[in-house]
A and B are shown apart, each in its own frame.
Chain A
Amino acid sequence: NAGVTQTPKFQVLKTGQSMTLQCAQDMNHNSMYWYRQDPGMGLRLIYYSASEGTTDKGEVPNGYNVSRLNKREFSLRLESAAPSQTSVYFCASTRDRGYYEQYFGPGTRLTVT
């Protein structure tokens, strides 16, 4: 099992460029999440998907869009990148029953210049 995988690991964008961060999990989890983490801060939820075809806004959704392509994959898109979106982005997933610890991917380090 690979767990939660994310691509790319690093990315540098110029202001106004667009890109998609990819996330996939092989644990058959229904719930998936996108977080951003800024220096010295905790994780802030951007978007959440409880199942294939459903998505909900989290705490900081502005400037982002998401797609739950299927049960395995959940992508995050920046349509017009801004320097304020420089951050580390983590994808996570969790099971639906019982104890539901979140499993995190390795992160994508994004710099917008």
Chain B
Amino acid sequence: QQPVQSPQAVILREGEDAVINCSSSKALYSVHWYRQKHGEAPVFLMILLKGGEQKGHEKISASFNEKKQQSSLYLTASQLSYSGTYFCGTEKTSARQLTFGSGTQLTVLP
């Protein structure tokens, strides 16, 4: 079942912060976050595993609440380059198969 992302879209000014949420109705093994710029392929940002392990880019942080099956991506001091569509991908087991949400379109204005 597809995870639900919120908000669907957000517009902010350079330097502002944003939070993107991803929730699932099923127990999760991991949550992945990807960013996709228009006309390009998705690019990996973060992975959060059940049990607290995570790996990702230095300037982007995320949380994973295993009990609520929710993850949030925190974008602080946004830069113009942060613009794009952010997707969460969830995994119920360690089978390495992701189910992606429908995306959150982030626009950073100067």
* Residues of A near any B CB (own CB < 8 A): 31, 33, 40-45, 48, 50, 58-59, 90, 94, 99-107
Over the window 87-105 of chain B, the binary record of Cβ atoms lying under 8 Å from chain A Cβ atoms (1 yes, 0 no) is 1010000001111111100
Interface hits, B18-48 → A, CB 8 Å: 32, 34, 40-44, 47
The 7 A-B residue pairs whose C-beta atoms are closest, nearest first, are A42-B100, A101-B44, A104-B41, A43-B100, A99-B55, A42-B102, A104-B42
Residues in B neighbouring A90, C-beta threshold 8 A: 41-42
Check A100–B41 contact: CB distance below 8 A: no
**Which interface residue of A42, A59, A106 has the most chain B CB atoms within 10 A?**
A42
Quote the shortest CB–CB distance from A65 to chain B (angstroms).
19
* Residues of B near any A CB (own CB < 8 A): 2, 32, 34, 40-44, 47, 55, 87, 89, 96-103
Check B47–A100 contact: CB distance below 8 A: yes
